Amino acid sequence: MPSLRSIVYVSSSVIPFSTSDLEDLLLKAKAFNSKHSITGALFYKDGNFIQCIEGPPAEMVLTYDRILKDKRHKGIIQLINLPIPFRAFKSWEMAFVRIGPNRSQELTNALSRTSPNATNKTHPSLVLMNSFISTL
């Protein structure tokens, strides 16, 4: 089985992202991700992003480099960068969920929708995303 890694990071938008800005970003992200075997989920809430990307190690380096270079967000904090046993978001080139203010329950529900393994207590990205969301 090929090895897989996962990165989860948080960041803040520099510009207010309209729906069409987000659609444009996602279109390009998904096109790149699908060519490079990257899956994941991007949540946007009150100008803040939390994203999980997962895929083969070399492709992850390329993808994360693109993300780091994007000047539309700042304060990027990498929370994990680890080998994973299996993909948490295997059906998604990049699932996207825009959440209203103060709705951590919505985020939890969104995580369950995008990852059938959302409550898996052994998958490091899912454990992290669940615990991060519970603090919002």
Which spans of this chain sit near ligand FAD (rule: CB under 6 A)? 11, 21, 24-25, 28-29, 32-33, 42, 49, 51, 53, 63, 66-67, 69-73, 94
CB of 3 to ligand FAD, least distance (A): 19
What does the chain come to in residues? 136
For residues 100 and 106, the answer to whether their CB atoms sit within 8 Å is: yes
Nearer to ligand FAD, 72 or 98 (CB): 72
- What ranges make up the beta strands (E) of 17-112? 39-45, 48-55, 73-83, 95-99
Distance, in Å, from the CA atom of 61 to the CA atom of 120, rounded to the nearest integer, reads: 26
Min dist. Cβ of residue 93 to ligand FAD (A): 8
Look-up of token digits 């519970």: 134
Closer by beta carbon to ligand FAD, 32 or else 132: 32
What is the smallest separation between the CB atom of 62 and ligand FAD, expressed in angstroms? 8
